[in-house]
Structure 1
Amino acid sequence: MKVVLVTPNFHQPRGNTITVQRIADGLKSMNVDTEIVSTTEDTEMTFLPEADVVHGFHAYKFYSFMEKLDVKPKSYVLTLTGTDLNHNLFDKKTRPDVLTCLRNSVAIHVFNEEAKQTLLSEVPEVKEKTFMVPQGTEILHDTKADYQKQENTFLFVLPAGIRKIKNVPAAIEMMEKLHQKYNHVRLCLVGPILEKEEGKIVSEMVEDNNDWIDYLGQLPHEKMGTIYYQADCVLNTSHSEGQSSAILEAMAHGLPALVSDNQGNRSIVSHEKTGFIYQNSDQFLDYAEKIMNNNTLRYKIGESAKEYISQNHSSESEIKRLLKIYRKAL
């Protein structure tokens, strides 16, 4: 079997890139031939490589890419990654394309049950071909990256590409209040600037607070293990998520997660069991203080997070279930 994985922005270090590369590696370990095509970089393509299965990621961007091809795939499997389900499906301008893409697919993959219910409430006719498969994840090694946590500090890490949907300025504002109360608090931002204007805002805020904020920019994925090993807590402040690969990885390393209340985060973080889910700034600060000031609680939640990931987000299980979808589609 040969599978072509078609995804946007593959050459940028985004969550989707990590997801697609992990799936490609997993398929190869099962002796499946794979090829990755980037819908945003491979713009001169007029047809896709020959394959038994075409697997597209992000309904709207995949559909827009297909429309430009001279030879369109006869059939395809589709993964909804987050913004396509939470935004493009409800945007009057993009909704028709998303609906067409969904209806013409032979199978649809979502990461969690809530995403499935959102999809079926809008497009009930795709129920029989919709499958829920949680993302897999893995433990990353400590590669001794250049970054070094300061002694006697409490380190929050926010791994995110800098774009509006990730809500990084709000994270800095909330963390600034926390730092005013606890001067040993530190914040480390990791991720490339993906939107210029948002990058300018974040860069200025970091410069104004450079005594306690470090912005590392883009790091190779394999170096993230070192960051997780040094961190005390991982943050996600996104307006919406599909299912954050960074949060999954951090939890696999035994880190408590403090995350915003959105569909993707709720699918992997159980409030006060494997992390904390906040709805406003006051809750964020309250939960951050709990994590900082109770070592027993922090350890217990971190261990629960690690156990949850090992039981529910196995990369091997993810690949086996995707292979079942491919075979059913064939």
Structure 2
Amino acid sequence: MRILIVTATYSPSINGVALTLNLQKSEFEKRGNKVTILAPKHPNQKYENSVIRIPSLPNPKIPDYPILVPIPTIHNLQIFTEKFDIIYFHHPFYIGDLSLTLAKYFKCPTVFYYHSRYEKIAQLHFPRLIFFPIINYLIKRNVGMIANQASQIIVGTQSVKQLLLRHKIKTPICVIPAIRKSMQIKNKSKSELKKRYGFADNEIIILCVSRLSKEKNLTTLLKIIKQVKSDRAFRLCLVGGGPEEKYLRKMANRLGLVRQTRFFGPVNHNITPQIYSLADIFAYPSRVDTQAIVILEAMSSGLPVVGFDCPGPKDFIQNNNNGYLVSNNLEFAQKLGELINNNLVRKKIGSNSLMTSKKYSFENSVDELENIFKKVVSEFKF
């Protein structure tokens, strides 16, 4: 197949969508498909023959998502010399409109992967003076229009599918979790990895891998860590970069958590498995993600996971089995405390977590994507 992937974020941006698309592109190509990426320009980008860049401006609010400037250039006009069997797009708004327009030109179907609860994210980034019900209405209206014009919608979890159905989306929806490769390391002990990264062997590591931005709810996580009661030494490790890093560092200092919090910053995806493998617990405070790929990554390293009871986490965390689903900050802190203080419980839940991860694999998710693409192409009528 000739696949055009249209996205608002791509390598060298470091976020879930960009990393997943990079892996999917490589796997599709290994299987004999021709894949072209249409993505915003990035100041640190490297030339790739199969990546066409759209002019963009820096986005001070969300640096991983540059502001698109739809100006035709010799480079991006080359897309019209190509032929595609299907367009696989990952965002509504301009990306969605562009994808649907290109689909008409190429006379091919479209698949829309719905990644985020966009109205929830907008509430965090728009000025408080803007009337939220109007913003919510406009966002839901645009997402609904884009979704109902696509040939197929893919979501990462069953709960998000139900959310879309409640919004009267008529396009067929299927559930295919966006899986990345296992984070498990077999040849290195936890003690060895802790020593390599400067941690004490008896120190319990609470890990959170996330973009450091408002929608990830990391200020709440710092408040939760402050509430954790434990006689045992523990430390929160935040892996990732983003616009909130400076603020989060100041907040950690203000809460007296400087010694209990370590900011790793952005790390190469090849290093990430080592970070997961040295950790003991995974904390996930976001309430707006539709799937949270990092939860499955943590489970593939045998980590018990604590997250809020909301779409995304609740689709993978089985309460009191492979982790804990909580309803408020105090309960979150209590469950972290239980896992820190009780080795047997932590190991048992971590073992169950690892078993859960074995139900999912990167290769199987690409198999499912490929099958959906073939089905959509075969049924498409222009």
Contact 2:144 2:169 in 1 (8 A): no
Q: TM-score, normalised by structure 2?
A: 0.77
CA distance in 2, matches of 1:223, 1:92: 41
- 1:276-312 CA distance string (max 9 Å, x none): 111111111111122112222211111111111111x
Query: Residues 51, 67 of structure 1: CA spacing in aligned structure 2 closer, same or farther, 3 A cutoff?
Result: closer
1:159 and 2:206 are equivalent in the alignment: no
1:141 positional shift: 6.1
Contact 1:112 1:133 in 2 (8 A): yes
The residue identity in structure 1 corresponding to 2:251 is M
* 1:14 equivalent in structure 2: 15
Structure 1 gaps, min length 5: none
Query: Residues 186, 108 of structure 1: CA spacing in aligned structure 2 closer, same or farther, 3 A cutoff?
Result: same
1:210 positional shift: 2.1
- 1:11-38 CA distance string (max 9 Å, x none): 3111112221232232223222222222
- 1:112-131 CA distance string (max 9 Å, x none): 111111111112422xx211
1:300 and 2:343 are equivalent in the alignment: no
1:254 and 2:255 are equivalent in the alignment: no
Query: Residues 35, 270 of structure 1: CA spacing in aligned structure 2 closer, same or farther, 3 A cutoff?
Result: same
1:59 and 2:92 are equivalent in the alignment: yes
1:279 to 327, 350, 354: 327
Contact 1:110 1:131 in 2 (8 A): yes
Query: Residues 121, 73 of structure 1: CA spacing in aligned structure 2 closer, same or farther, 3 A cutoff?
Result: farther
Bigger Cα Rg? 2
Contact 1:192 1:217 in 2 (8 A): yes
1:199 positional shift: 3.1
1:329 and 2:329 are equivalent in the alignment: no
CA distance in 2, matches of 1:218, 1:289: 27
Q: Secondary structure at the match of 1:286?
A: helix
Query: Residues 61, 291 of structure 1: CA spacing in aligned structure 2 closer, same or farther, 3 A cutoff?
Result: farther
Contact 1:58 1:84 in 2 (8 A): no
Moved more, 2-11 or 162-171: 2-11
Q: TM-score, normalised by structure 1?
A: 0.88
- 1:152-176 CA distance string (max 9 Å, x none): 2111011111111101111011102
Q: Structure 1 stretches (4+) deviating beyond 6 angstroms?
A: 67-71, 143-146
- 1:15-74 CA distance string (max 9 Å, x none): 112221232232223222222222465323357453211100123352255489798554
* 2:116 equivalent in structure 1: 82
CA distance in 2, matches of 1:172, 1:233: 15
CA distance in 2, matches of 1:30, 1:290: 46
The residue identity in structure 1 corresponding to 2:112 is L
* 1:185 equivalent in structure 2: 234
1:151 positional shift: 2.9
CA distance in 2, matches of 1:307, 1:246: 16
Moved more, 59-68 or 222-231: 59-68
Contact 1:259 1:276 in 2 (8 A): yes
1:204 and 2:238 are equivalent in the alignment: no
Aligned pair count reads 323
Moved more, 31-40 or 85-94: 85-94
The residue identity in structure 2 corresponding to 1:283 is E
CA distance in 2, matches of 1:46, 1:87: 32
**RMSD between superposed Cα atoms in Å:** 2.7
Matches within 5 A, 1:1-330: 1-11=1-11, 12-39=13-40, 41=42, 42-44=53-55, 45-46=76-77, 48=79, 50-60=83-93, 62-63=95-96, 65-66=98-99, 74=107, 75-84=109-118, 91-126=136-171, 129-140=172-183, 147-178=197-228, 181-182=230-231, 184-193=233-242, 195=243, 198-208=244-254, 209-311=257-359, 313-330=360-377
Query: Residues 304, 61 of structure 1: CA spacing in aligned structure 2 closer, same or farther, 3 A cutoff?
Result: farther
Q: Report % sequence identity.
A: 20
RCO higher in structure (CA 8 A, sep ≥6): 1
CA distance in 2, matches of 1:64, 1:40: 18
* 2:125 equivalent in structure 1: none
Structure 2 gaps, min length 5: 43-52, 56-75, 123-133, 378-382
Q: Secondary structure at the match of 2:312?
A: helix
The residue identity in structure 1 corresponding to 2:247 is I
Query: Residues 95, 39 of structure 1: CA spacing in aligned structure 2 closer, same or farther, 3 A cutoff?
Result: farther
CA distance in 2, matches of 1:328, 1:263: 28
Query: Residues 272, 105 of structure 1: CA spacing in aligned structure 2 closer, same or farther, 3 A cutoff?
Result: same
1:100 positional shift: 2.0
Query: Residues 85, 169 of structure 1: CA spacing in aligned structure 2 closer, same or farther, 3 A cutoff?
Result: closer
Contact 1:19 1:245 in 2 (8 A): no
